[in-house]
């Protein structure tokens, strides 16, 4: 499993997005955004950060946590934390 796929899985689990999988209600995790996606509020944000840190064995900077407002931003931040995201 690529690191990008691992990150997708972390997002899906953090936001419990699997319920609509395979249906017209399926959510594309790569298009989720902080506060714009209903499931992504400040409490879930910290849960997402913890899940990412555990999955990739990293410790994010506080500024990165504050700036991690989308899947793409999370990819960028992990790249900077020496995780190869294949970008």
Partner 1 sequence: MSTWGLEGRVAIVTGASRGIGWATARLMAKDGAHVVLVSRGESGPLEARAAELETQSGCKCLAIVADVASATDVGNVYKRAFAEFRRLDVLVNNAGMLCDGLVGMISEERIARALDVNLAGSIRNLQMAARLMGRTGGGSIINMSSIMGTRGGAGQVVYSTTKAGIIGMTLAAAKELAPKRIRVNAIAPGYIATDMIRGLPEEIQRARLAAIPLGRIGDPEDVAKAILFLASDHAAYITGQVLGVDGGMVI
Among the candidate windows 8-16, 18-26, 57-65, 67-75, which touches partner 1 by CB under 8 A? 57-65
Tokens matching residue 34: 């902080």
Among the candidate windows 16-24, 27-35, 58-66, 69-77, which touches partner 1 by CB under 8 A? 58-66
Is 82 an interacting residue with respect to partner 1 (CB under 8 A)?
A: no
Instruction: Provide DSSP, 28-65.
Output: -GGG-BTTTSTT--HHHHHHHHHHHHHHHT----HHHH
- Given 50, 66, 72, 84, the residue binding partner 1 (CB under 8 A): 50
């Amino acid at each position: 499993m690529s690191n990008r796929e691992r990150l997708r899985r972390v997002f899906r689990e953090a936001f419990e997005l699997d319920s609509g999988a395979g249906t017209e209600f399926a959510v594309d995790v790569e298009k989720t955004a902080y506060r714009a996606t209903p499931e992504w509020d400040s409490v879930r944000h910290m849960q997402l950060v913890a899940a990412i840190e555990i999955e990739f064995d990293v410790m994010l900077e506080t500024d990165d946590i504050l700036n991690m407002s989308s899947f793409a931003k999370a990819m960028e931040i992990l790249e900077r934390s020496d995780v190869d995201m294949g970008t």
